[in-house]
C-alpha cells in the first residue's frame, strides 16, 4: 500500500447555511466514511481544519504575509490514507461526503513521497 494525502478544498462558507439537522447529517456521513476507511485499513489520520490562518512566503529574514489567492476556497481538512495506487486513492476520495453535501468541493489527491523514493534529501542517521 502507498500513502496519499487527500486535501479537501471547499468554499470557506460552504456549510454556513446548514441547519443544525443538516450539519448533524453531514457529520454523521463523515463518521461513517471514516469508519469505513478504518475498517478497510485505509486511514492513517484525518482532521478538519479551522477556516482561518495565515499564508507566509519569502525566505529566512524576509518573510511576507501572503500572497493570498483571490478565491473563497480554502483547505478545510485532510485525510492521510493508504491505497494500492493513485486510481484507488481517487476512488476513495470520490466517496467523501463533501461531494454529497456541497457543490463546491474539490479534493486534491497527492501521493506522499516515501523516504526510499527521495533522492533530494539526505536523511540523518539514527
Q: Give tens-digit pLDDT for 71-94.
A: 678 899 999 999 999 999 999 999
**Which residues are CB-neighbours of 111 under 8 A, at least 6 positions away?**
2, 3, 4, 86, 89
The least confident of 3-12, 97-106, 115-124 is 115-124
Q: Give tens-digit pLDDT for 42-68.
A: 999 999 998 777 777 888 777 777 656
* Best mean pLDDT range from 9-18, 49-58, 103-112, 114-123: 103-112
Domain ranges of the chain: 2-115
Give pLDDT, residue 20. Answer: 94
Cβ–Cβ under 8 Å, residues 106 and 73: yes
Give pLDDT, residue 59. Answer: 80
Place domain 2-115 in its CATH homologous superfamily: Dimeric alpha+beta barrel (3.30.70.1060)
- Find where cell 507566509 sits: 56
Amino acid at each position: 500500500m502507498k500513502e496519499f494525502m487527500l486535501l479537501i478544498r471547499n468554499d470557506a462558507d460552504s456549510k454556513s447555511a446548514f441547519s443544525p439537522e443538516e450539519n448533524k447529517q453531514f457529520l454523521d456521513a463523515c463518521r461513517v466514511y471514516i469508519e469505513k476507511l478504518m475498517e478497510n485499513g485505509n486511514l492513517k489520520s484525518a482532521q478538519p481544519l479551522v477556516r482561518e490562518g495565515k499564508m507566509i512566503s519569502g525566505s529566512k529574514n524576509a518573510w511576507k504575509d501572503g500572497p493570498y489567492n483571490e478565491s473563497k476556497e480554502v483547505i478545510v481538512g485532510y485525510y492521510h490514507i493508504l491505497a494500492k495506487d493513485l486510481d484507488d486513492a481517487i476512488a476513495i476520495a470520490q466517496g467523501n461526503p463533501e461531494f454529497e453535501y456541497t457543490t463546491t468541493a474539490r479534493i486534491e489527491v497527492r501521493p506522499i513521497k516515501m523516504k526510499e523514493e527521495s533522492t533530494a534529501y539526505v536523511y540523518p542517521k539514527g
